[in-house]
């Protein structure tokens, strides 16, 4: 509702004294009302001029013209918090936000304790807080400007996003300022703009679910400030400041000490039920059948291990590393190898049934459906092979290696390729539709009744119409991804090379939460009951609450993990590049 000018005070001709001049346009329709607006403005300017506080800019002058009024005040060299939020990559430093929060409590307390009448700020929000060039806060826009806003009649109110529920009843007490400060801190800590969310929905976006660097103590302070009922909030701003300082002290934030007291999460306490050591790295994902775990290894073998006790059963040698996840059908194990073959061996004895030759390494995993096995190869082909006889039925030529695992649904085969083409192919091997991502699609698609989901090295998670290939939505990940998505209820999960595990709402493509691991997430998340299991290149297997992304436990292996876990009957199996496969209690 007006502009702010940077101006020079010509009373001081020999020096450059900068001031800020705030212009407010008087939109009141009739002259009498316009006069009242100007009178109110001048009365409030007078009050403001008497306030002396380091976080309140000094007022030098005011005047009114034809249809405008002006306020001349101290020029602040800095930028407002909205700009700070916008210009900061990643989250703001929690210590910095808390320090600002405490300064804001100070200045609001000064206003609330003003005599003879307390002053309600009424409009706390990031754009009204400037950070000067010394890093201190300045409250810039007092409710004074509100006089100039036209009366909002009819069916619309401009919600501030930061204002408390009672504003709709026309109440403005000091408890409203506490709510708005809580909302401002919430925005600063989460970078989620409340103006883009339904009103009063902060409790649906718990801070620690979004930014894991924030302690639960700090979160509790912000939550109390944001209570729906004014009486449930801090009774005074000084109480809020106390609580904020106590929370900051507890986590060592105030002294800027690194928070060595990491959250009390189990990391060492977990003992695997068993582990089994191969002779080289395990980069793939296990499969389970008939109480046996099957897993490929870069020592060229496929291992069969007793799922109950980790006892070695047999191994089957190929002539190349095995990253392909085995599939099991009709008592046979199907898997690809870098020796350019699809191997099919008996699950019981590990003896060869048949094999199919491709013309390049087979890093894709087999998908068995409708009596056929579908598998991609680095030779750029999708191979369709009769799953009983091993007879090649057709090959579909893509322009680049296929490492993605095909998905079969709606009588079509869906698969991605390394040059970014995504194909929907019918059972005769002809293309129904294709789609091009900007970079490779190693991720294996997941197809539901509604959509085809996969991620790409171009840094997006895609949702495509299964019938036509139209992009329904795409979600931007921090970096490229080869992780394959999974779904639980309304959420879809995937990992990415930026080290995050993401949870995204299926319908709206909005992020529900993200969890940070210490390195790339190349494996795929797995859902078991209400938990999400996902491994990271940081060598940990994580167990998270799927709804909230809260860490339940993590388990450290001795090397980076590139594959995905398998969960069956309350036991998680995971292979690691430390050559071992582990069995853990889910």
Q: Is 15 in the site for another protein (CB under 8 A)?
A: no
Tokens 């191997």 belong to which residue? 343
Q: How far apart are CA 394 and CA 382, in angstroms?
A: 8
Cβ distance to another protein smaller for residue 391 or 436: 436
Binding mask of the shown chain, residues 110 to 149, with x at each position contacting another protein by CB under 8 A: ----------------------------------------
CA dihedral of 462, 464, 466, 470, whole degrees rounded to 10: -150
Are 427 and 406 within 8 A, CB to CB? no
In the complex, least distance from residue 401 CB atom to another protein, rounded to whole angstroms: 21
**Residue written as token pair 């690194």:** 258
What's the closest the beta carbon of residue 510 comes to another protein, in angstroms? 9
What DSSP assignment string belongs to 499-552? SEEEEEETTT--EEEEEE-SS---S--EEETTEEEEE-TTSEEEEEETTT--EE
The answer to whether 112 and 118 are in contact (CB under 8 A) is yes
> Which contiguous run of DSSP H or E holds residue 219?
helix 216-225
Residue 284, phi then psi, degrees to nearest 5: -100, -165
* Interface residue with another protein, options 377, 463, 481, 517 (CB under 8 A): 463
Only one of the segments 32-40, 427-435, 540-548, 567-575 lies at the binding site for another protein (rule: CB under 8 A); that segment is 427-435
Q: Is 472 in the site for another protein (CB under 8 A)?
A: yes
Q: How far apart are CA 53 and CA 27, in angstroms?
A: 32
Integer-rounded Cα radius of gyration of the chain: 31
Nearer to another protein, 63 or 228 (CB): 228
Give the footprint of another protein on residues 493-532 (CB under 8 A): 507-509
> Taking CB under 8 A as the rule, does residue 86 contact another protein?
no
Question: What is the closest distance, in whole angstroms, from the C-beta atom of residue 169 to another protein in the complex?
Answer: 9
CB of 561 to another protein, least distance (A): 32
Determine, following the binding rule CB under 8 A, whether residue 467 of this chain makes contact with another protein.
yes
- We find the least distance from the C-beta atom of residue 196 to another protein, in angstroms, to be 4
Identify which of residues 473 and 568 has a Cβ nearer to another protein in the complex. 473
The structure tokens listed for 71 are: 């306020």
Residues for the chain: how many in total?
586
Q: In the bound complex, what is the minimum distance in angstroms from residue 198's beta carbon to another protein?
A: 6
- How many chain residues bind another protein (CB under 8 A)? 39
How far apart, in whole angstroms, are the C-alpha atoms of residue 404 and residue 70?
A: 64
Of 23, 242, 299, 465, the one binding another protein by CB under 8 A? 465
The conformational region for residue 122 under phi > 0 = left, psi -120 to 50 = alpha, else beta, is left
What is the C-alpha end-to-end distance of the chain, expressed in Å?
57
Structure tokens at 5: 């000018």
> Of the listed pieces 4-12, 305-313, 385-393, 448-456, which binds another protein according to CB under 8 A?
448-456
**Residue 71 φ then ψ, to 5°:** -125, 125
Q: Which range in 9-17, 59-67, 151-159, 246-254 contacts another protein by CB under 8 A?
A: 151-159
Among 353, 409, 471, 556, binds another protein (CB under 8 A): 471
Q: Any contact of residue 487 with another protein (CB under 8 A)?
A: no
Pick 345 or 452: Cβ nearer another protein: 452
Residue 300: count of CB within 10 angstroms of its CB: 19
Q: Which of residues 219-238 bind another protein (CB under 8 A)?
A: 228
**DSSP string over 93-117:** PHHHHHHHHHHHHHHHHHHHT-SSS
Query: Which residue in 327, 451, 526, 567 binds another protein (CB under 8 A)?
Result: 451
**Of residues 35, 46, 468, 558, which one binds another protein by CB under 8 A?**
468
CB nearer to another protein: pick between 110 and 162: 162
Does 271 sit near another protein (CB under 8 A)?
no
Paired sense of beta strands 274-277 and 580-585, if any: antiparallel
Question: Scanning residues 178 to 217, which ones bind another protein (CB under 8 A)?
Answer: 193, 195-200
Shortest Cβ distance from residue 46 to another protein (Å)? 30
* Shortest Å distance, C-beta 271 to another protein: 44
- Asked whether 62 and 44 are in contact (CB, 8 A), the reply is no
Choice from 29, 116, 158, 258 touching another protein (CB under 8 A): 158
Sheet with 341-346, strands from edge to edge, namely 327-329, 332-336, 341-346, 352-357
- Give me the least distance between CB of 203 and another protein, in Å please: 10
Angstrom distance (rounded) from CA 549 to CA 260? 22
Per the listing, tokens 């799953």 go with 387
Tokens of 172: 């403005």
Of 153 and 231, which has the nearer Cβ to another protein?
153
- The verdict on 428 binding another protein (CB under 8 A) reads no
By CB under 8 A, tell whether 165 contacts another protein: yes
Distance CA 551, CA 536 (A): 14
Which of 10, 15, 16, 156: binder of another protein (CB under 8 A)? 156
Min separation Cβ 424 and another protein, Å = 11
Identify the residue among 60, 314, 433, 568 touching another protein (CB under 8 A): 433
Phi-psi region of 459 (alpha: psi -120 to 50; beta: other; left: phi over 0): left
Residues that bind another protein (CB under 8 A): 150, 153-159, 165, 168, 193, 195-200, 228, 433-436, 449-451, 462-463, 465, 467-474, 507-509
């Amino acid at each position: 509702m007006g502009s702010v000018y940077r101006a020079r005070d010509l009373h001081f001709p020999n020096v450059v004294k900068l001031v800020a001049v705030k212009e407010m346009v008087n939109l009141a329709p009739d002259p009498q009302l316009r006069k009242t607006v100007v009178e109110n403005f001048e009365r409030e300017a007078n009050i403001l001029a008497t306030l002396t506080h380091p976080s309140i800019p000094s007022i030098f002058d005011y005047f009114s013209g034809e249809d405008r009024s002006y306020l001349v005040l101290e020029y602040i060299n800095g930028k407002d918090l909205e700009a700070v939020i916008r210009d900061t990559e990643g989250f703001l430093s929690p210590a910095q936000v808390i320090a600002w929060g405490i300064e804001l409590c100070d200045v609001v307390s000064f206003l609330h304790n003003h005599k003879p009448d307390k002053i309600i700020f009424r409009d706390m929000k990031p754009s009204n807080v400037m950070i000067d060039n010394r890093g201190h806060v300045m409250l810039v826009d007092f409710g004074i400007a509100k006089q100039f806003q036209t009366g909002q009649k009819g069916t619309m109110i401009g919600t501030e996003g930061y204002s408390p529920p009672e504003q709709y009843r026309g109440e403005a007490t000091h408890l409203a300022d506490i709510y708005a400060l809580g909302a401002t801190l919430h925005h600063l800590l989460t970078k989620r703009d409340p103006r883009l969310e339904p009103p009063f929905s902060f409790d649906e976006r718990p801070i620690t679910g979004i930014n894991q660097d924030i302690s639960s103590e700090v979160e509790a302070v912000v939550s109390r400030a944001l209570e729906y009922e004014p009486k449930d909030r801090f009774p005074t701003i000084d109480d809020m400041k106390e609580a904020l300082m106590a929370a900051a002290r507890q986590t060592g934030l105030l002294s800027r000490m690194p928070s060595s007291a990491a959250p009390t999460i189990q990391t060492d306490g977990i003992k695997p039920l068993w582990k089994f050591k191969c002779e080289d790295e395990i980069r793939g994902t296990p499969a389970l059948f008939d109480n046996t775990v099957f897993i490929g290894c870069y020592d060229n073998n496929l291992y069969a291990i007793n799922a109950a006790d980790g006892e070695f059963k047999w191994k089957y040698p190929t002539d190349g590393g095995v990253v392909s996840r085995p599939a099991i059908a009709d008592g046979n194990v199907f898997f690809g190898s870098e020796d350019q073959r699809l191997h099919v061996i008996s699950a019981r004895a590990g003896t060869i049934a048949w094999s199919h030759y491709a013309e390049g390494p087979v890093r894709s995993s087999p998908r068995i459906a409708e009596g056929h096995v579908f598998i991609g190869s680095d030779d750029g082909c999708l191979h369709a092979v009769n799953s009983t006889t091993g007879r090649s039925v057709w090959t579909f030529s893509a322009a680049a290696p296929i490492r993605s695992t095909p998905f079969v649904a709606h009588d079509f085969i869906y698969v991605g390729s390394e040059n970014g083409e995504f194909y929907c192919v019918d059972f005769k091997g002809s293309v129904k539709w294709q789609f091009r991502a900007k970079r490779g699609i190693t991720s294996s698609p997941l197809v539901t009744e509604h959509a085809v989901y996969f991620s790409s090295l171009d840094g997006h998670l895609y949702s495509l119409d299964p019938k036509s290939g139209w992009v329904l939505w795409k979600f931007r990940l921090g970096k490229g991804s080869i992780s394959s998505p999974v779904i639980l209820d309304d959420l879809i999960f995937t990992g990415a090379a930026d080290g995050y595990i993401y949870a995204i709402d299926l319908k709206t493509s909005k992020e529900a939460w993200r969890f940070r691991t210490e390195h790339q997430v190349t494996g795929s998340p797995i859902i078991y009951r209400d938990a999400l299991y996902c491994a990271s290149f940081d060598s940990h297997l994580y167990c998270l609450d799927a709804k909230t992304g809260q860490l339940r436990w993590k388990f450290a292996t001795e090397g980076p993990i590139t594959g995905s876990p398998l969960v069956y009957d309350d036991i998680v199996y995971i292979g690691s590049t430390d050559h071992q496969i582990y069995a853990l209690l889910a």
